[in-house]
Amino acid sequence: MSLVGKKAPRFTASAVVNGGEFVDNFSLDQYLGKQNVIFFFYPLDFTFVCPTELIAFQRKLAEFEKRNCAVVGCSVDSKFSHWAWLQTPQDKGGIHGVTYPIVADLSKTIAENYGVLAGHYDYDEDGNTIFNGVPQAYRGLFLINKEGTVRHCVINDMPLGRNVDEALRMLDAMIFNEENGEVCPANWREGEDAMQGTHESVSAYLAKHQN
């Protein structure tokens, strides 16, 4: 079930911030009324596709911050695993240099509440708790506005890396919509024409951009 248009699930968890500092009561509530948030999940620390994504977000971090948007990562690893990965050089498979917060979802409840956990808990014939599926998160990304509402989300299967520029484009579109009330057509980018959300506006837009 999609979270778009709903309040983002709240949580309090351990996290590593500023590239190596432990925070035991990290919450997205700190951004309410102040900043938009890109909250993204990745499967595991010390893997292969994941560092390319986390480093890509770091390289664009200034662009997100310029738009008053916080970037927060999350996986089912412990805070100690996050810390170790953050201390590992990039040429050794690490993510040293990443400064935005990385949340530890060791209980997997955050991933489950956001609908990105790649499986579920169940019971076997003897009544023992088991996990059906893969106890990791899919590559979910959630764009949350200052009011705490999810305005956009995308969920990729584990082998499929995301496009950080697309996350920026959607952030620009959300900000433009919230500030101007106009709607953003396909492939819209900041500075381009938008529409009023009427049939006449759509027709005029299509006529102007028919090529």
Q: Would you name the residues annotated as active-site residues?
A: 50
Give the residue carrying structure tokens 């200052």.
Answer: 146
In degrees and rounded to multiples of 5, residue 102 shows phi and psi of -125, 115
Sign of CA dihedral 186, 192, 195, 196: positive
Q: What is the 3-state secondary structure (H, E, C) of 120-188?
A: EEEECCCCCEEEEEEEEECEEEEEECCCCEEEEEEEECCCCCCCHHHHHHHHHHHHHHHHHCCECCCCC
Distance CA 182, CA 163 (A): 25
155 - beta bridge partners?
A: 140
Tokens standing for residue 62: 């200034």
**Pairing relationship of beta strands 117-123 and 102-104 according to DSSP bridges:** unpaired
